[in-house]
Structure 1
Amino acid sequence: MSSEKFNLLSFSGKMKTLHLSWIAFFITFVVWFNAAPLLSVIADSLGLTKSQIKTLLILNVALTIPARIIIGMVTDKYGPRLTYSVLLGVCSIPCFMFAVANSFEQLALARFLIGFIGAGFVIGIRIVSEWFPAKELGTAEGIYGGWGNFGSAAAAFTLPGLAIFFGGEDGWRYAIGLTGLISLIFAFVYYFNVTDTPKGSTYFKPKKAGGLEVTSKGDFALLMFMKLPMYATLALLAWKLSPAGVSMLAEQTTQLIYAGLVLILLVDIYQTYQVNKDIFVNEVPEFERYPFKQVAVLNVLYFTTFGSELAVVSMLPLFFAETFGLGMAQAGMVASSYAFMNLMSRPGGGWLSDKFGRKNTLLILTAGLAVGYFAVGQIDGSWALPLAVVVVMACSFFVQGGEGAVFAAVPLIKRRLTGQIAGMTGAYGNVGAVFFLTVYSMVSTSVFFYVIAISAVIGFITLFFMTEPKGHMAEVNEKGEVTLISVN
């Protein structure tokens, strides 16, 4: 661990790693959300229907859930430096594919593949945890997550202007292509300017590849249970693309996807068993154990926090437009206040965790989140617009602060598995987004906000099963030597 002072203005040592990592994350989110602010222009250019536009939006998130699990495993095995560099470079290819596409089918394939870059977030969680001590980790992870996550808002603000700047009917192509070029260039910048750990530190890798390690039979059962919502969400996305949804897939194709998901689930269960089969024969030494319930609780909390953020950002402009009679451009600017809070809310949640403890901070922020969404559900046309904006921004502080607090705790569970744990927790954020947006399509807006508030109450209850990280976690290197890493 680097012992230098925490100075955001510095660009050396651990601060250099932090800054380059949040910039990498920022770029992944710019690329991931580069089509959303340009969809109306793309639709006019290529004659897309509303159904096709909805399909592109669904495809944009479809691959991200399994991608975060896969990238978590790859990060733990090969290191974040190589993984982030390869992801940025490889994912520039579907970005270029989207920029030159001339048909809906080409757009759809490219958009589906671009969803993989949404897993980039997971990589930075591991590298930041390698460089910062526990007492600074929440703040550092919050800055990484909050400033990087702002990439989606930056794309919304800049890409329409860039498309106009490039001009003509194909201006959007150059704007999209430019984001891919930036991603490709930064892949090399990242690779040649960071290291996985500070000089002299050991990078601990999982003992076995192919699945998340757990340390007891009960934890294995809980891990299997926690996998089910992710597969259910992928099945739901397949249904949305079927004739019952937007009719992109034929009924027979949809059935094949369902059968494939069942097969993948069975293979996943078998592979996870292979990684963990020793726990059914031998007891894991006490110093090497970690409670998987910690991961399960953080999964539930991220389902509500990041899941609700993705869902609310998608519908908030329309909500303001319909509730207060605003034009879409005006409503979009007002709604952007929710995303802007990321710059300080997520680091704030991490900082509070460093100062007052992970569990206490999460309890307070989750309670505030529940109250906040209940208050937002009360907003109607009788409210003054400035008051409504203040309430929404206050709610967003608890949402994004909660995200920061979740990932202040993730790296303190088991160092060598941080990528995989972050991948699973991050995937639950996408599961939450799909769930809440599905609810939104079926109920009134106020009920939608109440459902999120109820999920926050459930998250609050699960927090009582969480144990405050303290003491040390033990890791064993390839020589069998034990290292103790402080978690407070």
Structure 2
Amino acid sequence: MSTSTLNVLDLKQERIRLLHLSWFAFFLTFVVWFNHAPMLASIKEAFDLTGQQVKALMILNVALTIPARVIVGMLVDRFGPRIIYSALLVSGGVMCIAFAFANSYEMIALLRFLMGFIGAGFVIGIRLVGEWFPARQVGLAEGVYGGWGNFGSAAAAMTLPTLALIYGGDDGWRYAIASTGVVALLYGFFFYWRARNTPKGSTYFKPKKSGGLVVTSKRDLVFYIAMCVPMYAALAVLTWKLSPTNLGLLNDVAAIALYVVLAVLFVFQVSQILRVNSDVLNNVPIPEMQKYKFKQVAILNVAYLATFGSELAVVSMLPLFFMETFDLGAVTAGMLASGFAFMNLVARPSGGYMSDRFGRRRSLTILIAGLTVGYLVLSQITSAWPIWLAVVATMCCSFFVQAGEGAVFAIVPLVKRSMTGQIAGMTGAYGNVGAVIFLTTLSFVSSSTFFIVIACCAAVVFLGVQFMEEPEGHIAEYNEDGSVALIEVS
């Protein structure tokens, strides 16, 4: 019987080697995705950009990630993680190199928008790691994958400025960014050579239909369609941010055209959802062993909105918050604020381990409650606080946030194996939806109110988690020959 312990140094085990292959692939996707951030000052100078244009680049960098995570989730379930991760790394590397040597603002804006697709790499590894580790270890394994891989953005911030200085000259930043693209491109080929979708003798289960999640009741079908709405709403908000009423990077015609495109895409997605769920619409009996409850997916979605969504938002504003609250310099404030992201290295694996060891729902409940209290504490920070105490409060809150992320994805692979990619894609997309919601809120309120809004959102999620059902027993999937395979989930 497998246990919840995991020796990540035991490279004799093929699954451990696969785990290291996977988290480093995810790490590289985050390095490439955020390699522009520490170079923004150089990019601004090279292209003589305005502050509004710089803000637009930051928005464009994350805009495509919401639909990309859903699309990549479908592709992973259909074609397998090995080929999709390899293709994403290679294509992302090529676009990164092109971005590094682009010679106009229009070109870097377009490439930054397209590079948002590489932010979907996280979804691929969730399915891959879920295939290789048993239920009693999958939470910790997914936590290591997510926590260590997510550190890629911090690694880019710490190393690329130095690398640019080593290259030297006015184009040092270009060579630094291009170097990350070359590494990602080469690793894509290496990953394809070394990775496998499943252990020897295991079956890679694929959904019978592609184009959307297959649900098992009309009620779940309505619920599923309703849960798609916030993703398009978030994209509409991003369009509004670029419109003449905000940053002004789009004219009225372009903004209206984008709104129309989003409406058409939503209608198209709904049509695809109805198509893949024709059996439910036509009242075709579904075997009991094939049924699952979509509420499990919905709860994971909103839990990730509160955890990863708030992390993205807080990481974006925390340096400025420390600067303004304690009258600090930019470098000092950045170093103090970096503690929030550094917690990923231990917090996500800890959340996964708790989920394996103490139960999925119980662990998620505790962690969501902890981050609710944590954000309420952050809302009380003022200049009268000792700086060390504010940093400690920030890191404690960060632990619960990122451990909560680990607990969420400790459950994702246990809902429905053949659709894990799609479930992970939708849940991951909700993290970006949360970031859009919280950052938009921040543009209208004070930092204190911003933290309170996140805490209130987390409190609602806490109530929702109480309706989650603990994964128990087995989930059933069909082999290619029609026989039934049972996969242990508890």
**TM-score computed with the length of structure 2 as normaliser:** 0.98
In the alignment, the residues of structure 2 paired with residue 211 and residue 355 of structure 1 have an alpha-carbon distance, to the nearest angstrom, of 32
For the Cα contact (< 8 Å) 1:166–1:174, is it kept in 2? Answer: yes
Query: Once structures 1 and 2 are overlaid, which stretch shifts more, 152-161 or 116-125?
Result: 152-161
Offset at residue 4 of structure 1 (A): 12
Per the TM alignment, residue 137 of structure 1 is displaced from its structure 2 partner at its CA by 0.5
Query: Which secondary structure does the structure 2 equivalent of 1:198 belong to?
Result: coil
Match of 2:441 in 1: 439
Q: CA deviation at 1:394?
A: 0.2
Is the aligned partner of 1:9 residue 2:9? yes
- Structure 2 residue aligned with 1:108: 109
Q: Does 1:351 align with 2:358?
A: no
Aligned position for 1:450: 452
Counterpart contact for 2:4–2:356, Cα < 8 Å: no
For the Cα contact (< 8 Å) 1:95–1:176, is it kept in 2? yes
Structure 2 equivalent of residue 24 of structure 1 = 25
Q: Deviations over 1:366-399 (max 9, x none)?
A: 0000000000010010000000000000000000
CA distance in structure 2 between the aligned counterparts of 1:189 and 1:317, rounded to whole angstroms: 37
Match of 1:279 in 2: 280
Residues in 1 aligned to 2:217 and 2:208: alpha-carbon distance in whole angstroms: 16
Structure 1 unaligned residues grouped into runs of 5+:
none
1:214 to partner: Cα distance: 0.8
Matched residue count:
488
The AA in structure 1 aligned to 2:110 is: L
CA contact (8 A) 2:61 2:112 kept: yes
* Structure-2 separation of matches of 1:181 and 1:117: 14
Counterpart-to-counterpart distance in 2, 1:93 and 1:257: 27
Cα distance change on mapping 1:16 and 1:5 into 2, 3 Å: farther
Return the alpha-carbon distance in structure 1 between the equivalents of residues 85 and 291 of structure 2. 29
- Corresponding residue for residue 423 of structure 1: 425
Q: Which residue type is aligned with residue 373 of structure 1?
A: Y
Q: Is the Cα contact below 8 Å between 1:473 and 1:485 reproduced in 2?
A: yes
> Secondary structure of 1:379's partner?
coil
Residue 380 of structure 2 is aligned to residue 378 of structure 1: yes
Alpha-carbon shift at residue 40 of structure 1 (Å): 1.0
- Superposition deviation, residue 197 in structure 1: 0.3
Residue 154 of structure 1: aligned partner: 155
- 1:367 maps to 369
Does the CA contact (< 8 Å) of 1:374 and 1:449 recur in 2?
yes
- Aligned residue for 2:194, secondary structure, equals coil
Q: CA deviation at 1:6?
A: 3.0
- The 8 Å contact of residues 4 and 137 in structure 2, kept in 1 or not, is answered as no
Q: Which amino acid aligns with 1:343?
A: L
**Counterpart code for 1:9:** L
Q: What CA distance in whole angstroms lies between the structure 1 residues aligned with 2:175 and 2:69?
A: 29
Single out whichever of 156-165 and 424-433 deviates more from structure 2: 156-165
Aligned mates of 2:265, 2:47 — CA distance in 1: 36
The 1:3/1:392 distance shift into structure 2, 3 A limit, reads: closer
Cα shift readout 1:92-133 (whole Å, capped 9, x = no counterpart): 122112101121111101100110000000000000000000
1:299 aligns with 2:272: no
Match of 2:341 in 1: 339
- For 1:383 and 1:213, the matched residues in 2 are separated by 52
Counterpart-to-counterpart distance in 2, 1:89 and 1:175: 18
Q: Is the 8 A contact 2:6 2:140 kept in 1?
A: no
Change (3 A) 1:102 1:223: same
**Quick one: which amino acid aligns to residue 142 of structure 1?**
G
What is the deviation of 1:168? Answer: 1.0
Deviations 1:249-287 (A, max 9, x none): 110111111111111111111111000011122121110
Q: Distance in 2 between matches of 1:450 and 1:159?
A: 35
Deviates more, 1:144-153 or 1:277-286: 277-286
Of 406, 427, 446, the residue aligned with 2:408 is 406
Pair 1:255-2:256 in alignment: yes
For 2:10, give the aligned amino acid: S
Distance across 2 between alignment mates of 1:264 and 1:68: 15
**RMSD in angstroms over aligned alpha carbons?**
1.2
Alpha-carbon distance in structure 1 between the residues aligned to 2:280 and 2:2: 35
SS at match of 2:257: helix
Residues 1:4 and 1:384: Cα distance change in structure 2 (over 3 Å): closer
Which residues in structure 2 correspond to 1:200-215 (within 5 Å)? 200-215=201-216
Partner of 2:265: 264
| Structure 1 Cα separation of the partners of residues 115 and 272 of structure 2 | 27
Q: Give the letter for the 1:137 counterpart.
A: V
Instruction: Show structure 2 runs of 5+ residues with no match.
Output: none
How far 1:5 moved relative to its partner?
A: 7.8
Task: Give the conservation status (yes or no) of the 8 Å contact 1:2–1:13.
Answer: no
Q: How does 1:173-184 map onto structure 2 within 5 Å?
A: 173-184=174-185
The answer to whether the Cα contact below 8 Å between 1:2 and 1:198 also exists between their aligned partners in 2 is no
Q: In structure 2, what residue type is equivalent to 1:150?
A: F
Spell out, residue by residue over 1:337-370, the C-alpha distance to the aligned partner (whole angstroms, 9 max, x if none).
1111000000000000000000000000000000
Q: State the 1:141 CA deviation.
A: 0.2
- Asked whether the 8 Å contact 2:40–2:54 carries over to 1, the reply is yes
- Distance between the aligned counterparts of 2:457 and 2:73, measured in 1? 26
Which string of whole-angstrom CA distances, capped at 9 and with x for unpartnered residues, describes residues 165-222 of structure 1?
1111111000110010010010011111110000000000010011111111111000
Secondary structure in 2 aligned to 1:473? strand
**TM-score, length of structure 1 as denominator length:** 0.99
Distance 2:41 2:323 in 1: 17
DSSP 3-state at the match of 1:91: helix
For residue 466 of structure 2, give the secondary structure of its aligned residue in structure 1. Answer: helix
Hey, what does 1:90 align to over in structure 2? 91
Q: Does 1:37 align with 2:38?
A: yes
2: CA distance between counterparts of 1:3 and 1:416? 24
- Is contact 1:34-1:155 (8 Å) kept? yes
Shift of 1:2: 9.3
Provide the rounded CA distance (Å) in 1 between the counterparts of 2:426 and 2:207. 15
- CA gap 1:208/1:2 in 2 versus in 1, 3 angstroms: farther
Q: Any idea what SS the aligned residue of 1:465 has?
A: coil
For the 8 Å contact 2:4–2:353, the answer to whether it is kept is no
| Structure 1 residues 386 and 3: alpha-carbon distance in aligned structure 2, compared to 1, 3 A threshold | closer
CA deviation string 1:300-355 (max 9, x = no partner): 00001000000000111111111111110111111011111000000000000000
Counterpart CA distance in 2 for 1:169 and 1:69 is 39
Does residue 238 of the first structure (1) align with residue 239 of the second (2)? yes
The letter for the 2-side match of 1:7 is N
